[in-house]
């Protein structure tokens, strides 16, 4: 029997209970301790490469010690019954560690770096990246993440849109939905698809009028929200 398709759209809040800081929603969020323009823009990179490298080295050093939360594990478990695609804004590898198999990283990945001369040269990378670490063409390596003002990887955006167009259910977890074009993807799902928004905070974005009757805000952290949704989906669809 054909499986219903679920699009899971995640942001930093989905990783919060694994010990990863978010960006905008708390005093300790990344953007409260670093200036976005210094560490996540091309201008910042041009001004002070080591500062940007230090920011991502700090984030990458945490990767080894963080584990998937119950939310990541439930999302992975949904693959038993549904055709699940994860479209994430997160640069961590927690969905991979939880066993999910279809993951699109819209804003890149912390454990990858790329050449500043030839963006097709992408290397797996653990540990710190520093000035002088170069690709085989002799150019400085940079984090393989998408900075503000940089175009997203078009293959990823096209793949994410294609999955959204076919999705019957959308689960949005832990994102303020402030960053575009990523935040447009959940509303590219089928017009009558169910949309669950898991976030202990308020809904601070516009839900399109034609989607409001299918939109449910579960005002809980990711682990509790995903338990609620898992039980609802099994009751309704299985
Ligand atoms: C581009 C780098 C153009 C990697 C990031 C309209 C259309 C297109 C672009 C724009 C547009 N309007 C403005 C733009 C420009 C810009 C943008 O969107 N700016 C915003 C801020 C206004 N977009 C861009 O620049 C993009 N590029 O458009 O290029 C172009 C086109 C052609 C040619 C050249 C250029 C690039 C955007 C990517 C930027 N890179 N990160 C990294 O360091 O991670 S974005 C950054 O924000 C992260 O990737 C993060 O994932 C993303 C979104 O943040 P969230 O994940 O939502 O995190 P946040 O802290 O905001 O929210 C956390 C939520 O979790 C909260 O709601 C909280 O309540 C909740 N929460 C807390 N605890 C829990 C929880 N939820 C569940 N459980 C919990 N326990």
Average pLDDT, rounded, for the chain = 95
Q: Kindly provide the b/e burial profile for residues 86-103, where b requires at least 16 CB atoms within 10 angstroms of the residue's own CB.
A: bbbbbbbbbbbbbebeeb
User: Over the stretch 5-51, which tens digit does the pLDDT of each residue have?
Assistant: 999 999 999 999 999 988 877 777 777 778 999 999 999 999 999 99
Ligand 1 atom closest to the Cα of residue 223 is: 78
pTM assigned to the model: 0.96
| CA 143 to ligand 1: nearest atom | 4
Which positions are catalytic?
Answer: 107
The alpha carbon of 180 and the centre of ligand 1 are apart by a number of angstroms equal to 6
- Return the C-alpha torsion angle 149, 146, 55, 122, nearest 10: -140
Q: From the CA of 11, how far away is ligand 1's center (Å)?
A: 8
Return per-residue pLDDT of the chain as tens, 238 residues. 789 999 999 999 999 999 998 887 777 777 777 899 999 999 999 999 999 999 999 999 998 899 999 999 999 999 999 999 999 999 999 999 999 999 999 999 999 999 999 999 999 999 999 999 999 999 999 999 999 999 999 999 999 999 999 999 999 999 999 999 999 999 999 999 999 999 999 999 999 999 999 999 999 999 999 999 999 999 998 8
Helix (H) or strand (E) holding 159: helix 154-165
* Preceding omega of 125 cis (within 30 degrees of 0): no
pLDDT digits (tens, 9 = 90+) for 116-131: 999 999 999 999 999 9
Name the residue with the closest Cα to ligand 1, atom 40: 147
Which pair of structure tokens corresponds to residue 224? 């509790």
User: Is-contact 107 146, C-beta < 8 A?
Assistant: yes
């Amino acid at each position: 029997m054909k499986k219903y398709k679920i699009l899971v759209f995640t942001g930093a809040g989905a990783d919060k209970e694994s010990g990863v800081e978010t960006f905008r929603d708390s005093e300790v969020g990344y953007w409260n301790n670093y200036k976005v323009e210094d560490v996540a823009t091309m201008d910042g990179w041009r001004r002070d490469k080591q500062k940007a490298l230090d920011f991502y080295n700090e984030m990458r050093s945490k990767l080894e010690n963080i584990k998937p939360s119950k939310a990541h594990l439930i999302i992975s478990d949904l693959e038993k019954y549904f055709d699940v695609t994860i479209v994430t804004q997160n640069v961590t590898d927690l969905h991979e560690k939880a066993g999910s198999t279809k993951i699109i990283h819209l804003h890149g990945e912390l454990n990858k770096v790329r050449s500043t001369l030839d963006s097709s040269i992408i290397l797996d990378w653990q540990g710190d990246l520093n000035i002088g670490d170069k690709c085989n063409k002799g150019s400085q390596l940079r984090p393989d993440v998408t900075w503000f003002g940089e175009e997203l990887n078009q293959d990823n955006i096209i793949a994410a849109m294609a999955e959204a167009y076919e999705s019957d259910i959308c689960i949005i977890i832990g994102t303020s939905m402030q960053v575009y074009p990523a935040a447009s993807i959940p509303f590219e799902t089928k017009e009558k698809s169910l949309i669950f928004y898991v976030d202990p905070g308020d809904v601070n974005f516009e839900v399109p009028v034609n989607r409001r009757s299918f939109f449910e805000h579960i005002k809980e952290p990711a682990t509790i929200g995903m338990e609620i949704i898992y039980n609802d989906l099994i009751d309704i669809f299985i």
